[in-house]
Amino acid sequence: MRVLELTATSAGGSRHRRQKCLLEAESSKAKVPGACRAVMAARAMSAGVSKMKPETLMRTYLEEVVARGRLELIEELSNADMVDEANQAFGGPPGRAGLVAHVKGFRRHIGDLGVTVERIVAGDNSVVAWWSFTGRHTGPWLGRTPTGKPIRGSVFSFFDLVDGRINRYRLYLHAEFPESVVLDTSRPNLGLT
């Protein structure tokens, strides 16, 4: 039996927690903390393994791409012609490039970003996550000029999957500036409220 040691970093508010992950390489029943699962999935993808369970795909997107800025993983997580409804609502580029633009913009406008995954529910071809974020409002975002003040929000992210990859991304976001702002990409004609 081999033991593999990985170090995972998970964001919690403005603090980062380093977690040592000891995994029995030959045991599929070993309990693996969430941050470690995301690191393992990212390493598997970079080694050429492209299909993962829907829950793992969502966790990897949130913990590695959104929280840590690992934009290079988007190519493995999504189909080239995917639709990112939030990106479309703001006139961004189509396809996978739209998801990259979406994440870059979010990370650029929210400094000291902390991401917490609250819950993930997955089916065979879809997955939804309830997650929250904290940070500082450092750039123009959701029609608001930057304040430099703390911001937080709750998000529901919905992925439709084709061939084990993101094909459509829809979200419902409730951000708290001082006032509440809601974005529901399933109803783009309503705009921000």
Are 174 and 184 in contact, with CB atoms under 8 Å apart?
Answer: no
Helix (H, G, I), strand (E, B) or coil at 100: helix
Tell me the domain boundaries of the chain.
3-190
The pLDDT value recorded for residue 91 is 87
Are 151 and 136 in contact, with CB atoms under 8 Å apart?
Answer: yes
DSSP state of 189: G
The pLDDT value recorded for residue 7 is 38
Residue-wise pLDDT tens digits, 7-28: 344 444 434 444 444 333 334 4
The pLDDT value recorded for residue 33 is 55
Angle at 67 between CA 61 and CA 72, to 5 degrees: 55
Look-up of token digits 């999504």: 78
d(CA 39, CA 129): 18
The pLDDT value recorded for residue 187 is 79
In this structure, the dihedral spanned by the alpha carbons of residues 64, 159, 114 and 148, taken in order and rounded to 10 degrees, is 120
At 5, the amino acid letter reads E
Q: What are phi and psi of 165, to 5 degrees?
A: -130, 160
Spatial CB neighbours of 91, under 8 Å, sequence gap ≥ 6? none
d(CA 91, CA 94): 9
CB atoms under 10 Å from CB of 117, counted, come to 20
The pLDDT value recorded for residue 34 is 56
DSSP state of 14: T
Spatial CB neighbours of 115, under 8 Å, sequence gap ≥ 6? 11, 62, 63, 66, 67, 131, 132, 133
Question: What CATH architecture applies to the domain 3-190?
Answer: Roll (3.10)
Residue-wise pLDDT tens digits, 149-161: 999 999 999 999 9
pTM of the model: 0.75
pLDDT tens track, the chain, 193 positions: 233 333 344 444 434 444 444 333 334 444 455 555 555 555 554 444 457 999 999 999 999 999 999 999 999 999 999 999 989 888 899 999 999 999 999 999 999 999 999 999 999 999 999 999 999 999 999 989 999 999 999 999 999 999 999 999 999 999 998 889 999 998 766 555 5
Spatial CB neighbours of 26, under 8 Å, sequence gap ≥ 6? 1, 2
